[in-house]
Amino acid sequence: MAKIDLRASAQQSNDAVAARNRDLFGRNGVYVMNFIGSPGCGKTSILEYTARHLDGNFAAIIGDVQTAFDAERIRDCGVEAHAIETGGGCHLNAAQIASTVANIALDRLDFLFIENVGNLVCPSAFDLGENIKVAVLSVPEGDEKVRKYPALFVRADVVFINKMDLLDRCPYDAERVKEDALKVRPHVRIFETSATGGTGFEPWFEFLRSVR
């Protein structure tokens, strides 16, 4: 009896939906970013700061295992935000994105920010139809993440090193992290930020203006 690789089949199905998502986003002129990082690294805080200061039209899709707390934080910034509760799933998939964007007026957007479930492993392997993956690191979680989770960083076009305001309180070698990231992805863009302090964001905004 022939064996069926269910994981490969699921991946192929996801990739087919992701391709349709990408075509839809392209036809509507929407630049889509998939934010991936550990729980507590500051993904939502980065999006909050961006929402309050970015000149442009955008919406957000926020994935979480349970609750819509993070989506509510983005709505409080005056931005349309849709929550996807995975009910235990460790990543978003392309079908969930397709279902959600059916309720978003894409033709009025410049950007769509997707905040994936807090996880450095599973989300990196699933295409959602985005233009780029954005990896978010933070100072308190340690400086070995690029070396421990290379599958994300070989795919990420942007890396945030967030919570830089805590650098003097944590044993964190930011230069080594940047070297590690550039080693696996030579043209990656790296932004060193503090979402709570509001520092380091102007290069990020310049990047967003360049791709709009």
State mean pLDDT over 25-53. Answer: 97
How many percent of the chain have pLDDT more than 70? 97
Among candidates 67, 62, 66, which has minimal Cα distance to 89? 66
CA end-to-end span of the chain: 52
Residue 45 predicted with pLDDT over 60 = yes
CATH numbers and ranges of domains, the chain: 25-211 (3.40.50.300)
Residue 61's pLDDT band, with cuts at 50, 70 and 90, is very high
Collapsed DSSP state (helix, strand, coil) of residue 82: strand
DSSP state of 164: G
**What confidence score (pLDDT) does residue 6 get?**
57
Among candidates 175, 37, 180, 171, which has minimal Cα distance to 114? 37
Residue 9 predicted with pLDDT over 90 = no
Residue 8 predicted with pLDDT over 90 = no
Q: Report how far residue 49's alpha carbon sits from residue 177's, in angstroms, rounded to the nearest whole number.
A: 23
Among candidates 157, 193, 198, 159, which has minimal Cα distance to 177? 159
Q: Report how far residue 3's alpha carbon sits from residue 9's, in angstroms, rounded to the nearest whole number.
A: 12
- Name every residue whose Cβ is closer than 8 Å to that of residue 51 and which is 6 or more positions away in sequence: 58, 60, 74, 77, 78, 79
Residue 67 predicted with pLDDT over 90 = no
Collapsed DSSP state (helix, strand, coil) of residue 106: helix
Residue 81's pLDDT band, with cuts at 50, 70 and 90, is very high
**What confidence score (pLDDT) does residue 40 get?**
95
